Each structure stands twice: as C-alpha cells, then as structure tokens.
Structure 1
Amino acid sequence: MPDLKYSYIARQPILNREQNTVGYELLFRDGPNNTFPDIDPELATNRLLSEHFLATHYSTIGDKLAFVNFPYQSLVNLVPTLFPKDNLVIEILETCEPTQELLQAVRKMHHAGYTIALDDFIPKKEWLPFLAYTSIIKIDIRLYSLQKAQKLIQRLAPYDIEFLAEKVETHEEFEQAKEMGFSKFQGYFFSKPQLIRRKQIKPSFLTVIQLVKEISKTELDYDELERLISIDVTLSYKLLTFVNSSYLIRSEITSFKQAFIYLGEDRVRKFISLVAITSTQDDKPDTLYNLSIQRARFCQLLVNDIDRSIDDGLGFLTGMFSLLDSLFDQPLIELVEKMPINSLVKVALVTGQGKLGHMLSLVKAYEVAEWDKVSGLCNKLKLNDEQLAKHYDASIKWTEDLLTIEPDQISRME
C-alpha cells in the first residue's frame, strides 16, 4: 500500500571519470521499500514531476543534472517542456517504439535546448534518425558487454554523444568502462539509490476543481487564478518554485499574477492540469480524473442548449463533481453537503432532479450507450442527436487538448 502521508523519490548518483557527481537519476517510489511501485508508468512520471520539480526541486538535486525516465506518451505530448531545460535530462525508455511521431517530438525538444538520452540502448537501425538529436546514450553493461559497447562507441564517434555505463558494480568494471570510452557512470559500485522522504503536500481538491473550471474558459481571468492560488499554500509553493526554475524567467517572480502572466496561457493550463492529475487519491487511476474533466466540459456545453438562463459554470461543476464518490470512496451526498456550491448543482448530484439532474443522467446514459434512455431524456430536454454528438466529440477533444502539449506550442516557448 502506498504511504499517503509522505512522498518518496529515490535518486542514484551519476558520476564522471573522476568520480565526481554530475547528476542523479530520479526514480519514483510510493513507499519506504525503495522499489518501483505497481502503477502506470505515465502516472509515475507525472507524480515524480509534480512532487519533485513543482515542490522540492533544488533540495533534491541541487545544481546537478536530473535524469528522468519518460514513457512514450509523455514524450510525444512534450510533457518535459513544462520543466527547466538547464538541468533536466530526458531519458527515452527502452520500451518506447522509435516511431516518426516520437522522432518529431525528440527533434522539437532538442531544438528547444533540452538534453536527450537513450536509456538501456541496444543498437537497431530504427534508432539511427534519433542519434542526431541525442546527447547521451546509456548502456546497461549487464545486458550489453563492455567489448560490444566499445565497438559501438567507436562506430558512433562521428556523433557528438557521451556514453554512460549503467550497472557498474565493481572497481574493475569502472576501470574497464573508462578504457572502453565511457565518460559517465552509474551503479552499485558508487551508490545504491538513496531514498528521500518528505511530507506529502497535496492541494485542496476543491481548489483544484475551481482552477480547472477557470482554465476551461476561453480567456483566463488572472485575478481569479491569483485568488484561488493564494488560498492554497501547497499550490502557491508549487507555482512559485516551478516559475522561478523556468528557463523562460530572467528575474525573480514576486506575485502569483506576475507568475501567470510570465508563463502565458498555454503553460498555465498545462501547469494546472498536471497538478490536477496528480492530486487525486493515490489508488485512483488518472483516467477517472480525466473522465471528470471530460464530463464537466460535456455538461457545460449542453447547458447552453438546454437553458441559457442557467450559468454554464453550473453545468461544468455538475459534471466535475459527479465522480467525487468514486474518487474519495465516500457517499456523494456526504461529500456534497460539505461543499459551498449552488443548490441547483447539489440537487442534480444527489437527487438527479431538475434540468441539471436530467442533463447529468443524459450524459451518463450517453457514455454507456443506453440509447433508449438517451432518447427519452433528449425529448424531455428538447435536444437532438446532432447536438449530443457534436458536444460529446468537442468535450473529448477539449480534454485531450487540455492535458496534452501540442507540438506547435513548443515553438512559442523558445
């Protein structure tokens, strides 16, 4: 079971030929056992980034490099570009497929100034196009012999690439690896991964919901974002740590509004989305939270067609809060009673009555293809199939856009 009171990060030092520490590989942990937990790699990466780069960055690595493993989807979504390029090494996991989609993302991150490393590298012709954008190749010397590695290093001499030997366990292996041409080293000979434990810092879920509602708007209200951030010390700390470590910033940030303006709308939306995804209960899949956001947007769009006298923000909250019971393992009626939200939303969530309640029932039926129920509710709310399909598709796209960094956005970050 994960330890909910603390956050854990393991770090293993990476050394140069003189055995001076030049960086650390950061490894996500969910408890004191110092082993990788049985969770989705994408969620593990998001948790590590949120709990490290957004909270305890400098106390974890100081002025050294941070080597972080990124699964395929995080790479093609350009998630690493949310973080400072000066001390982040983006490790492409050996499980990633060398697709054109991945190559395009790697090229963009390289041109933006990020350092790219290929982890546990085994030579394949499909990886050849990636070498022009690669700064470091990591080789597990337990899986790929030092003799074979030497030939590979010689063959790739025309490229400006450093080689890092992983799983170095003896002094003899260290000396041999140096002779073969390696310049960086990692393994138990130097140090086992050191576990760093810190008090878990999580923002208020209600504040996160309100922030997500704000970033759903076409134009951001920086005054309202500042107000929300100001009432949550965890979010305040993560925001200022994140912004002050950003390569975009040339001077110290002293106010939350200034931080948002410096970041720009794209990065503000991504920052809040990342924090939101990693703020749910630890044993809940991030897909459940994604569905909350998608359902919230679906309801927000439907309200405009059902009754324009109802604020579409109430539709958003109805959809978002409809999954609270699943997220918190508590009856929805108990959770709703504790929240200062509009009575129309409370009635819709608890009793399913009123226009918002019928709309929520319609959304739930549509998600599971209960077409007879959908038809009856459409008649009651005076909606048609075309409106439903259009808004459902729009909500899916909006959610994907919100939680994804589009490739063309990076050009605006350079």
Structure 2
Amino acid sequence: MTDKPIAPTAPASADPAAISTVMIARQAILDDKRMVVGYELFDRSTVTGAHTASSDAALLFNALSYASSEALVGRKLVFINCTHESLQGPHLELIHPERVILKVRTLGPQATPEEIAQLLPVFNALRARGFRLAFNQEVLRRAYAAWLPLAAFIKLDLQAFKPELAEPLVRFARTYSMATLVAEKVETAEQHERMTALGLKMFQGYWFAQPTVVKAKTVGPSQAIVLQLINMVRKQASVAEIEELLKKDPTLSFNLLRFINSSGFGLSCEITSFRHAVMILGLKKLFRWAALLLTTSRSSATPPAVGQTAVVRGRLMELLAAELLPPEECDNAFVAGVFSLLDVMLGVSLEHAFESVALPQPVVDAVLHGTGVLAPILELTRACESGDEEAFARTAEALHLSSRQVNWAHLQALAWAEDMGGSD
C-alpha cells in the first residue's frame, strides 16, 4: 500500500513561517474480505519510527483541523491511541464521535482497584456522548471486569500471548462483552487463518500492510486574526459578522472548512459556506476551537515554550476550578489561564492585549486585577510554575486543596499540554 505525500493547497496569503508539516502514520484495519474498514493513526511528527499514545490530542487536532483528514482516512473508522489524561481534554468536544474510536490503555499490573474504578465515570461520559472505546486484551483480566462491558472493540495483540491461548481469550471476550474483536499484529498467514477460524472478522498487521507515513501541510493563521475571531465570539456577534471576518482571512477560513468537513466531525455532506460552518459548529465550540488555535499559531517573536505554558495554565486552572467552582466557571478558568500569557504571546502589555478581545468579566478580574473567584486559582497556578514552595503552600491552603490534589492536577495538565502540541 503506497501513499503519495498530501499537500493541500494553502491560501495564497498564508505566511510561509506559519506552514509546517504533520507526519502521521496510519495502518489499515481490514475485514474478513480484506477490505479496509478503518485506520489506526500514530503521530510521527516528533517521535520518528515509534508508536506513541502520548500525542493523541495533538494528532486529533492537527488531523481533523489543520490537515486534510479526508486524504488521511477518507470515510473510514479512525482509531486514536489515547492517554487517560487526554480522554478528559476539551479537544474531544470538537470531534464528532461517529467515526472516531478511542483506544485506551489499561493501567498496568500495579494498578489498584480504586485507580481502575476512577476511570469508569470518564468512560461512561464519553459513551454517553457517542464515543466508542477500544481496549487491548489486558481488559480481559479479572481486575478490569468493570471495564469490559464498556468495550466496543477489543484488540488482541497476537505477539502478546501464546497461540494456544487465542481460543480461550476469544471465548472469554465473547462471553463477557459485546465487543467486536480485532486481531492486531498479524504477521503470518498461519496467524490469520487461526483467528479467522475463531470467527474474527477484523484484522491489522504487517501481513496485510505496514504503517505508511502521510505528510500533510498545516497552515496556521496569525494570532491577531484568531484574537479577532475570539473577540467576535465572546461578544456573540451575528453569524453574518463572523462570516465577514472569515471571508477576509483565507488562512482562518481554510482551516475552519477543513475542520468542519473532516471525517471526525461526521457530516454527511460537504460544507462550503462559512455561514453554514459557523451555524453547525455553534459559538461555544467555535470559541474553543479558536482558543486552542491561538496557542498553536506561530509568531516569530514568541518563544515556542510560551504556547505550551499557556496551555498548561489553562488546563491546570480548569482542573482546579472543577474541584472548587460550579461547572460554568471551568471554561472561564481555562480562558483565564491561557490568556494570562497574552502579553508574552503578543508582545504587548496585558492591558493593551485585553483591549483587543472581549472576555468574561471573571477572566478580566483575575488576570488584570487579581480579584474575583478565579484570582486565587491563577495565583496557585503561577506558584506551581515558579517552584516557590512558600507561595504554593499558602495558596493551596487558602483554597483548601492538598498538595497531592494540586500536584496530581499539575501532572495531568502537563501531560494534556504535551498532547495538545502547545510547543509545536
């Protein structure tokens, strides 16, 4: 199976500095008639030659927003390797679940029953939104009995168990789950015949096709234009006003139309009208898309680490707010964290930066004035970055949070920010 490099035509006005290449490996998943029914995607942009689950969020956002996902996967199923942290990331709010299968790792042999049970609400919430979950054969272990009924797919790694165990594993999986079984890492005709005889109808492995690397050009709009879009959304501008902005900036509109027409969004017909795209996405999702776009858009004057720091702040504040404040404040907390570095990203004072974008009052109060419900959370977030133990202890205690709670949230935020590719 051979793939030609994919380079969708970029807008004529695109800044060459804002164009980069995403390297995505894909491996076909076939049915019993050897027809391709889906692909598993791996991010090869940063870790050449190694499959990794640590960059799935960046992969989703790039593949379904910047890059032409139609060229990557057509209308097939998409299996994405997920970390447990990224399953709770807001990028999934932007993805239609119809064709996206979230492949989730088990926690390893040292996991406690409590740690395993903690993920059940996350899985159930994803399933309620329409996502399907895939697990590997480790989910068949007794410790994961509660996960088993949630599996839409179970991938049996033929390199991970002896051939004589195939039949009991298949029988057990069919007895205790309704999952579709997929034989992966099929490398010989004998393995294929064995699993076919056991009734499996989905296969993946080198015997069919090795992963192929697909190159896709990504085009990032300027930060100023993204800020203008965010400004309009926060002011609840009319669809017509937002459409006018999109018409004026080919790069931004180029990305939006590719995103809305991607396989992951699950639409049955192609959207070619900016007005239609805005109406389908809605203001809330449009804002989230633009906010994440801002942290990944390029500026020659901005150090690469700034975007990632902004994403860490936003995610950490969102996680801490979830412990302390009503749900409606969590989005504001995310925005406050990300936009608290707007001065560094734009090279102007915060006061000047905030003049150019309409933001919720709690965000303005916290970032500009150090007041309001979000201010102590922002102070704690900055203390986490600085390594100031005294400030960390004081701010955590003021919020009645244990150091363990804050450290765990910080680790989750760091992992999520790495997934989002904030430093890209």
TM-score, L = length of structure 2: 0.63
Question: Does the CA-based 8 Å contact 2:30-2:36 persist in structure 1?
Answer: yes
Counterpart pick for 1:289 among 306, 310, 315: 310
**Structure 2, unaligned stretches of length 5 or more?**
1-17, 319-335, 357-366, 387-394, 400-405, 414-424
> Do the aligned partners of 1:117 and 1:138 also contact (CA within 8 Å) in 2?
yes
Once residues 19 and 197 of structure 1 are traced to their aligned partners in structure 2, the CA distance between those partners, rounded to angstroms, is 25
- Alignment-derived partner of residue 146 in structure 1: 163
Deviations 1:23-70 (A, max 9, x none): 110111116944357xx91xx222211221123111111122111111
**Alignment partner of 2:200: what SS?**
coil
1:90 matched to 2:102: yes
Q: Residue 19 of structure 2 contacts residue 217 of structure 2 at CA under 8 Å; is this kept in 1?
A: no
Long gaps (5+) in structure 1: 298-314, 325-331, 347-356, 371-384, 390-395, 404-414
Which residue pairs with 1:255 in the alignment?
A: 273
Go from structure 1 to structure 2 and tell me whether the alpha carbon gap of 1:169 and 1:344 turns closer, same or farther (over 3 Å shift): closer
Q: Paired residue for 1:265?
A: 283
Give the secondary structure class of the aligned counterpart of 2:145.
helix
Instruction: Give the aligned partner of residue 225 of structure 2.
Output: 207
Instruction: Provide the C-alpha distance between the structure 1 equivalents of 2:91 and 2:355, rounded to a whole number of angstroms.
Output: 34
Deviation string 1:271-318 (CA, Å, 9 cap, x unpaired) is 223333443589637641226769999xxxxxxxxxxxxxxxxx9999
Tell me, yes or no, if the aligned pair for 2:342 and 2:353 is still in contact at 8 Å: no
Partner Cα distance (2:139, 2:207) in 1: 23
CA contact (8 A) 1:121 1:138 kept: no
- Quick one: structure 1 residues 199 and 220, their matched pair in 2 at CA, closer, same or farther if it must change by over 3 Å? same
Structure 1 residue 139: deviation in Å?
A: 1.9
**Distance in 1, Cα, partners of 2:354 & 2:38:** 54
Partner of residue 80, structure 1? 92
Secondary structure class of the residue paired with 2:291? helix
**Are the equivalent residues in 2 in contact too, given 1:137–1:163 (CA < 8 A)?**
yes
Partner of 2:50: 35
- Percent identical pairs in the alignment equals 24
C-alpha distance in structure 2 between counterparts of 1:285 and 1:56, whole Å: 27
- SS of the counterpart of 1:129? coil
In the TM superposition, residue 129 of structure 1 has moved relative to its aligned partner by 2.1
* Match 1:59 to one of 46, 58, 71: 71
- Aligned match of 1:115 in 132, 152, 155? 132
**Secondary structure at the counterpart of residue 297 of structure 2:** coil
- In 2 relative to 1, CA 255–178 (structure 1 residues): closer, same or farther, beyond 3 Å? same
Distance 2:174 2:338 in 1: 57
Residues 344 and 181 of structure 1: CA distance in aligned 2, closer, same or farther (over 3 Å) = closer
Superposed counterparts of 1:195-234, under 5 Å: 195-213=213-231, 219=236, 222=239, 225-234=242-251
Cα deviation, residue 171, structure 1: 1.4
Alignment of 1:152-191 (within 5 A): 152-158=169-175, 159-191=177-209
Equivalent residue of 2:101, what SS? Answer: strand
* Cα distance in 2 for residues equivalent to 1:183 and 1:223: 49
1:62 and 1:228 map into 2 onto residues whose CA distance is 30
The answer to whether residue 19 in structure 2 is matched with residue 19 in structure 1 is no
Matching residue's letter, 1:25:
E
Is the contact made by 1:15 and 1:185 (CA closer than 8 Å) also made in structure 2? yes
The 1:109/1:359 distance shift into structure 2, 3 A limit, reads closer
Question: For the structure 1 residues 59 and 194, does the alpha-carbon distance in structure 2 shift closer, same or farther, using more than 3 Å as the test?
Answer: same
Deviations 1:210-244 (CA, angstroms, capped at 9, x unpaired): 44455566x46655544444444333123223323
Residue pair 1:165, 1:185 contacting (<8 A) in 2 also: yes
SS at match of 2:50: coil
The yes-or-no answer on 1:50 pairing with 2:61 is: yes
Shift in alpha-carbon separation, 1:198–1:242, aligned structure 2, 3 A = closer
Q: Of 239, 251, 255, which residue of structure 2 is paired with 1:238? A: 255
Does the Cα contact within 8 Å between 1:94 and 1:121 map onto a contact in 2? yes
Alpha-carbon distance between aligned partners in 2 of 1:212 and 1:228, rounded to the nearest angstrom: 11
- For residues 71 and 320 of structure 1, the distance between their equivalents in structure 2, rounded to whole angstroms, comes to 27
RMSD across aligned positions (CA): 4.6
Question: 2:81 — aligned with what?
Answer: 69
1:365-403 deviation per Cα after TM superposition (whole angstroms, max 9, x unaligned): 983499xxxxxxxxxxxxxx9xx99xxxxxx9xxx9xx9
Q: CA deviation at 1:197?
A: 1.0
Determine which structure has more spread, i.e. the larger CA radius of gyration. 1
- The alpha carbon displacement at 1:181 in A equals 3.8
> Which among 128, 144, 151 is matched to residue 134 of structure 1?
151
Moved more, 151-160 or 5-14: 151-160
Aligned to 1:310: none
1:17 and 1:78, CA in 2 relative to 1: closer, same or farther beyond 3 A?
farther
Q: Secondary structure at the match of 1:264?
A: helix
Give the Cα–Cα distance (whole angstroms) in 2 for the partners of residues 137 and 296 of structure 1: 35
CA–CA distance in 2 between the matches of 1:283 and 1:64?
34
Describe the SS at the equivalent of 2:29: strand
Deviation, 1:18, is: 2.5
Equivalent residues of 2:97, 2:266 under 8 A apart: no
Cα distance in 2 for residues equivalent to 1:119 and 1:100: 17
Contact 1:10 1:29 in 2 (8 A): yes
1:88, 1:115 within 8 Å by CA — same for their partners in 2? Answer: yes
Q: Which amino acid aligns with 1:92?
A: V
- Report the alpha carbon displacement of residue 92 of structure 1 after superposing the two structures with TM: 1.0
Moved more, 115-124 or 288-297: 288-297
Please list the CA deviations of residues 85-129 of structure 1 after superposition, one character each: whole Å capped at 9, or x if unmatched.
232111112348764443223223323333221135353334222
Q: Give the secondary structure class of the aligned counterpart of 2:253.
A: helix
TM normalised by structure 1 equals 0.65
Which aligned pairs between 1:310-321 and structure 2 lie closer than 5 A?
Answer: 319-321=340-342
When the two structures are aligned, how many residues end up with a matched partner?
333
Which deviations, in whole Å up to 9, do the C-alpha atoms of 1:314-335 show, x marking residues without a partner?
x9999443333xxxxxxx8xx5
- Change beyond 3 A, Cα 1:180–1:228: same
